[in-house]
């Protein structure tokens, strides 16, 4: 299916892993939205969405751990920083600074090193 390195880590596995990290990041986004909710109904809806996303994430993460080396899986969780920065910029109109980008590049470089070696 995808080109595997010596441990069998493939592009489809990487995409699943990043999908799981994105789900986790979106749960944090729901938390931020819930913190600014207008009224209890909106808070409960957003907090419920956060818990639902965390439940989906937990199920997906368990399946990923069956198929991907643990060192690779946990190294890829660091990309949460990149996903969160993108969400913050797009949905919350927060400013992304040059140091933010430099840090994200370092995280990405470290993840690529672990993925290629894992």
Q: Is residue 3 part of a domain?
A: no
pLDDT of residue 30: 96
Q: Is residue 1 part of a domain?
A: no
pLDDT of residue 2: 46
Confirm if 29 and 91 have CB atoms less than 8 A apart.
yes
Distance of alpha carbon 3 from alpha carbon 54, whole angstroms: 30
Rounded to whole angstroms, what are the CA distances from 9 to 20, 65, 68, 69, 70? 16, 12, 7, 8, 11
Number of domains in the chain: 1
Q: Is residue 75 part of a domain?
A: yes
Q: Is residue 2 part of a domain?
A: no
Instruction: For residue 71, give its domain range.
Output: 11-117
Distance of alpha carbon 65 from alpha carbon 31, whole angstroms: 25
Confirm if 73 and 65 have CB atoms less than 8 A apart.
yes
Q: Is residue 4 part of a domain?
A: no
Q: Is residue 86 part of a domain?
A: yes
Collect all residues with Cβ–Cβ distance below 8 Å to 27 and sequence separation of at least 6. 50, 53, 54, 57
User: How does the average pLDDT of the chain come out, rounded?
Assistant: 90
**Predicted confidence (pLDDT) per residue in 38-48, tens digit:** 999 999 999 99
């Amino acid at each position: 299916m995808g080109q595997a390195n010596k441990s069998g880590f493939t592009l489809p596995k990487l995409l699943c892993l990043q999908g799981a990290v994105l789900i986790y990041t979106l749960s944090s986004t729901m938390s931020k939205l819930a913190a600014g909710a207008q009224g209890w109904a909106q808070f409960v809806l957003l907090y419920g969405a956060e818990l639902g996303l965390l439940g989906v994430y937990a199920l997906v993460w368990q399946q990923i751990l069956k198929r991907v080396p643990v060192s690779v899986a946990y190294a890829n969780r660091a990309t949460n920083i990149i996903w969160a920065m993108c969400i913050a910029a797009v949905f919350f109109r927060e400013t992304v600074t040059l140091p933010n980008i430099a840090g994200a590049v370092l995280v990405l470089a470290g993840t690529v090193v672990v993925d290629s070696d894992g």
